[in-house]
Amino acid sequence: MRPRSLRLRAPRSSREWLRYHEIRKRCLFEKYNGKNTPFYFEYDPDHPDENDPANRPMVFVADRRVIGTIRIDFKPDGRAIFRLVAIDDPWQGQGLGTTMLNMAENYARDRGADTICLNAVPDAYRFYTRHGFAPERWQGCTSNPTEIPVVKHLTSPANQPNVVPAIPVAATTVMQLAA
């Protein structure tokens, strides 16, 4: 059943912070960078970027339950970097990722961002291209070959493609290795 109330906001309690970190660790780090993956690294809930005043850790709340996460890092040049975007597994496939992404884009736009950058995992690449992102390297993007840097320019709707670009060769190789 689709939730009646959806909100994107900062975590407000220690329970929400725990849920924020649990979703990110389980749905992203363990899945894509876990101990049995070629690019293993440990999730650090106390990473200094979490406390940078330019960064906004956010939870996506459905009927008072935290079901998703995103951190929006604002850069002085007008970019907003979406980090560790995740919808918890039981809530996927219901259009909630699209809703959270739209809310995050509006939040970034309302605070002056003209460009959104993120590093997409191959499983989510088509999701992002359907929502106007295109493959493009950006300052500070990943060097991890298991992720694909993508960008969406908010100032020019003409720059938002209707066609899903092919997955870059490096990501295709990663997907084949994972199969």
pTM listed for this prediction: 0.83
- The average pLDDT across 22-36 equals 86
E strand map for 26-127: 55-62, 65-74, 79-87, 115-120
Residue 168 pLDDT level (bands cut at 50, 70, 90):
low
Question: Where are the domains positioned within the chain?
Answer: 6-178
Q: What is the pLDDT of residues 1-28, one digit of tens each?
A: 678 999 999 999 999 999 999 999 999 8
**DSSP3 helix / strand / coil % (the chain, rounded to 5):** 35, 25, 40
Strands 65-74 and 115-120: unpaired
Q: Say if CB 172 and CB 146 are below 8 A apart.
A: no
pLDDT tens, position by position, 42-90: 889 999 999 999 999 999 999 999 999 999 999 999 999 999 999 999 9
Q: Which CATH superfamily is domain 6-178 in?
A: Gcn5-related N-acetyltransferase (GNAT) (3.40.630.30)
Instruction: Summarize pLDDT for 120-162 with one digit per residue, the tens.
Output: 999 999 999 999 999 999 998 888 888 999 999 996 444 444 4
- Specify the range with the lowest mean pLDDT, choosing from 63-67, 108-112, 151-155, 165-169: 165-169
Q: Examine the pLDDT at 164 and tell me if it is beyond 90.
A: no
The helix (H) or strand (E) run that includes residue 127 is helix 122-130
